[in-house]
Amino acid sequence: MATLTTPTALPSTPGTSAAPPADRRRTRKARTLKAFKATPLTYLLLIIASIVFFTPLIFMVSIALSSTRTTAAGAFTIIPQEFYWSNFTDVFTATPLPVGRFVLNSVIIATTSAVGQVLSSSLVGYAFARLRAPGKGTVFMVVLATMMIPGQIVMIPQFIIFQNLGWVNTFLPLIIPNFFTNAFNVFLVRQFVARLPSEYDEAAQMDGLGYFGIYRRIFLPMMWPILTAIAIFTLTASWGDFMGPLIYLHRQELMPLALGLRFMTAVTNELQTPAWNLVMVGSIILTLPMLVIYFLGQKYLYEMSISTGSAGVK
């Protein structure tokens, strides 16, 4: 029972997940079980679903390619009729907002956050997996317990603390906490390291490496799959974060793109409407890196999302 329903025990490589194991394929190659037989209806439903899910993305592109006049009149169509590629440069030059800065700010905040998480979670996860200390088990229970605490509870006290540190209107409140890892990433690294054979430590110890040497020379290189997943996860979360910047960054030149986009909808153009075509260009700029990261790191991200066992309803 347990193995059937354990999220982490499931086959997890996207490309192969659907295929039955090789031995089974050999013996029962010829026939498909009724439950798995695809009918024309199956394809019809999948095609409809694909269209429904894809349509908003088409509109995003279509509006991004429309002229300001067309967009203001709401006259855009699903298949683009106009191709104002200049919108993709206008977004940086033709609005009163520093959109280029928005992008740069997003990049700075997201990458430093990811570096912080990778460094700190690898160190702490290694400690929980390999080092000994009295009370370690209890501390780990606390780590797990903190995963359940909703962030809103510390939103206001953290703001007061950071305000007193003079960190409002700096990137620090968004970046620094990442250098102190989080429970979930500690958990992931610990589980990963715990599965590595202990011969590595023993051999390294005989070679005279200290704990830090073992961590840096032996384990850090072996952790890269899980650290890649953590880096992707942090990049994604930080890049898309709206609430954190909204609380801490009140000056336009400091805002990341996710927050800046909202301000683009508050600025009107010569037609007295927000420049929705440029907002859509901004949305595309916000979305594209996520698609690229996902397709480059699909394997790791997928494993990670499976191991959380949560569908993550937005």
Partner 1 sequence: MFWIFASPWIIGFLVFLAGPMIFSVYISLTEWDSFNPPVFVGLDNFVRLFTDYPLFWRAVGQTFLYAVLAVPTTLAIGVFLANLLNKRIKFRRFFRTMVYLPVLVPLVATAMVFMMVLAPSGPVNQFLGLFGIDGPHWLLDPTWVIPAIVMLALWAAGGATILLLSAMNGIPKEFYEAAEIDGAGPMRQFWSITFPQITPIIFFNLIMGMIGAFQVFGQVFILTGGGPDNASMMMVPLLFREGFQFFRFGLASAMAWVLFVIIMIFTALAFKTSKRWVFYETEVK
Positions 83 through 102 that interact with partner 1 (CB under 8 A): none
CB of 209 vs partner 1, minimal distance in Å:
13
Write out 241-301 in H/E/C secondary structure: CCHHHHHHCCCHHHCCHHHHHHHHCCCECCCCCECHHHHHHHHHHHHHHHHHHHHHHHHHH
Interface stretch with partner 1, choices 3-11, 96-104, 198-206, 216-224 (CB under 8 A):
3-11
Q: According to CB under 8 A, which one of 93, 152, 198, 272 is a site residue for partner 1? A: 152
Q: According to CB under 8 A, which one of 84, 88, 159, 200 is a site residue for partner 1? A: 159
Positions 224 through 243 that interact with partner 1 (CB under 8 A): 239-240, 242-243
Q: According to CB under 8 A, which one of 68, 87, 95, 120 is a site residue for partner 1? A: 120
Query: How far is Cα 303 from Cα 66, in angstroms, rounded to an integer?
Result: 39
Query: How far is Cα 297 from Cα 221, in angstroms, rounded to an integer?
Result: 17
Residue type, 226: I
Asked whether 274 and 265 are in contact (CB, 8 A), the reply is: yes
CB of 6 vs partner 1, minimal distance in Å:
4
| Phi-psi group of 73: left, alpha or beta (phi > 0 → left; psi -120 to 50 → alpha; rest → beta) | alpha
CB of 301 vs partner 1, minimal distance in Å:
9
Q: Toward partner 1, which CB reaches closer, 44 or 203?
A: 44
CB of 234 vs partner 1, minimal distance in Å:
14
Q: Toward partner 1, which CB reaches closer, 160 or 206?
A: 160
Positions 27 through 56 that interact with partner 1 (CB under 8 A): 32-38, 42-43, 45-46, 49-50, 53-56
CA distances from 117 to 190, 207, 229 (A): 14, 30, 11
Asked whether 118 and 301 are in contact (CB, 8 A), the reply is: no
Q: According to CB under 8 A, which one of 69, 86, 194, 222 is a site residue for partner 1? A: 194
